[in-house]
Structure 1
Amino acid sequence: MQKKYKAYFIDLDGTLYRGKEKIPAASRFIGRLRAAGIPFLVLTNNTTQSPETVARNLTANYDMQIEPENVYTAGLATADYLKQLNLGHTVYAIGELGLKQALLDQGFSFAEYKPAYVVVGLDYDVTYHKFEKATLAIRRGAKFIGTNADTNLPNERGLVPGAGSVIALVERATQQRATYVGKPEPIMLKAALAHFGLKKSEALMVGDNYNTDIMAGINTGVDTLLVYTGYSKPEDIKKVAVKPTYEIMSLDQWQL
């Protein structure tokens, strides 16, 4: 039997759109949430873009009314997590502007020699020199944080290296495993719950990928809704030990 939820956490690619393809049911779903006054956050492991850029893209290209405050990136979650750890105010970061701006906005400053944290995310211009600085800083005692474990990203050329592949190099060089923030780890979803001041039982995680979106919910104790518009297929879910709370073919089928 379907419950009523006070907030929704929603994945991006495969759930609200497929690459450059619109998913009309997703646009209608966002419209229904807004009309009902139900709060929601779009949760993305992408740390390269700011919430403003993500919101602008969804609004302009996918027929959705999304504000920056509706977007919670792994970059924002990483900055929030570091502030919560309270180990210091300096960080060495490998990543794009979206990640670095999130860190600056939380009051962190950048340092290379003895930062409190080393944060590694996707960086399209990463160099050996950056890896070297990160490795040495971690070996000097910096807390090692990975934005997310996604090994690959889909684009028009195919599956290209993701943040997890970049982080793996530093893990090998330091012989340390990073603390991961993004989906499917619970850190990001716990922060999203705290954003609304909700209990685990009061929110629903919506996504198309069992391994990231649904496992994030399962790892956090949040109910999950798997929509078959993207990565995971019904035959995949027959094989998993822990099923999603709900499974649907289209977001049009979901009653708020």
Structure 2
Amino acid sequence: METPKSNRVGFLLDMDGVIYKGKSAIEGSAAFLEKLRENDIPYLFLTNNSQRTRRDMAMKLQRMGIPAEREQIFTCAMATARFLSEKKPDGTAYVIGENGLAAALHQNDYTVVDDDPDFVVVGEGRTISFENIEKAVRLVSNGAALIATNLDTTCPTDAGIRPGCGAIVAMIESATGKKAFSLGKPSPIMMRMARKTLGLRTDETIMVGDTMYTDVLGAVQMGYRSVLVLSGHTTEEDIKSYAYTPDLVAPCLNAIPDEFFMPAALATV
């Protein structure tokens, strides 16, 4: 028997390139979120940034004029820590990354160690040294499992791009011959955790992002509806390079038409 289609919807929202760019909110993003709140449409901010805690991320949004609570933030660090705690409770990890990743692991009863860890967990950050990479290579070679919070090869900054988690992980993979298991977008593990956080069904979930190979791919693989916004770094021309396509392409978050996500009764309000 076919499950009846639901009129309820909720949003998973990428952050950089969708809500803000650099240190400034993208025009119209606050207005779109206000519309969702007025119509009791749930949403969750979803990010592959493992550097900051969700409290820090919420504060960053608030300072841009975007209302946000820590409970509305879901990071790849959180997905990684929850996954590891389910697979090996009370485990240990050698961490390459910053406070957001270590905090997520601690909150899930993981101990950060320097020697003989169960896992080597790699995030991104500005404080990573070659000494960290060298030690990670030795630990993985000695049997620790290699985990990546995400496989993004670059991170956007105000000054341009810098190497991301994927680039750091690639060095360790190349040196050890072992592949990392990634928990960030487009991982179905993170995408499913985020959906369940909102209490949504698959057909009720809409993913909005500015990147084809993380946001849109993750949505396509999970059966969510997807929106690609052009307020980040992806252009309409770029879409032609992929075998999959988003359900909607919009200039920015606030350009998503009401009829795409609102029941007919609400779309006329």
- Structure 1 length normalisation: TM-score? 0.92
Runs of 5+ unmatched residues, structure 1: none
- Of 41, 66, 69 in structure 2, the residue corresponding to residue 67 of structure 1 is 69
Equivalent position of 1:197 in the other structure: 199
Q: Please report how far the alpha carbon of residue 213 of structure 1 lies from its aligned counterpart in structure 2 after TM superposition.
A: 1.1
Pick closer, same or farther for the CA change 1:154–1:215 going to 2, 3 Å. Answer: same
- Of 58, 61, 64 in structure 2, the residue corresponding to residue 58 of structure 1 is 61
Equivalent position of 1:6 in the other structure: 9
AA partner of residue 54 (structure 2): P
- Contact kept, 8 Å, 1:225 with 1:244, in 2: the verdict is yes
Identical columns (%): 34
**Does structure 1 residue 31 correspond to structure 2 residue 34?**
yes
Number of aligned residue pairs: 253
Equivalent position of 1:142 in the other structure: 144
AA partner of residue 56 (structure 1): M
Equivalent position of 2:266 in the other structure: none
Equivalent position of 1:182 in the other structure: 184
- Report the Cα distance in structure 1 between the residues aligned to 2:125 and 2:17, rounded to whole angstroms: 23
- Of 18, 22, 42 in structure 2, the residue corresponding to residue 15 of structure 1 is 18
Runs of 5+ unmatched residues, structure 2: 1-5, 263-269
Q: Please report how far the alpha carbon of residue 231 of structure 1 lies from its aligned counterpart in structure 2 after TM superposition.
A: 1.6
Q: Please report how far the alpha carbon of residue 239 of structure 1 lies from its aligned counterpart in structure 2 after TM superposition.
A: 4.0
Alignment of 1:106-255 (within 5 A): 106-254=108-256, 255=258
Equivalent position of 1:46 in the other structure: 49
- Structure 2 length normalisation: TM-score? 0.88
AA partner of residue 105 (structure 1): Q
Q: Which runs of 4+ in 1 moved over 3 A?
A: none
SS in structure 2 at match of 1:114 = coil
- Contact kept, 8 Å, 1:31 with 1:64, in 2: the verdict is no
- Contact kept, 8 Å, 2:25 with 2:66, in 1: the verdict is no
SS in structure 2 at match of 1:24 = coil
SS in structure 2 at match of 1:32 = helix
Pick closer, same or farther for the CA change 1:198–1:86 going to 2, 3 Å. Answer: farther
AA partner of residue 41 (structure 2): I
Equivalent position of 1:95 in the other structure: 97
What CA RMSD, in Å, does the superposition of the two structures yield over aligned residues?
Answer: 1.8
Pick closer, same or farther for the CA change 1:231–1:132 going to 2, 3 Å. Answer: same
SS in structure 1 at match of 2:33 = helix
Q: Deviations over 1:40-66 (max 9, x none)?
A: 1101111111111111111111x2111
AA partner of residue 209 (structure 2): G
Greater mean deviation of Cα atoms: 52-61 or 226-235? 226-235
AA partner of residue 177 (structure 1): K
- Report the Cα distance in structure 1 between the residues aligned to 2:7 and 2:250, rounded to whole angstroms: 16
- Contact kept, 8 Å, 1:9 with 1:40, in 2: the verdict is yes
- Contact kept, 8 Å, 1:77 with 1:188, in 2: the verdict is yes
AA partner of residue 23 (structure 2): K
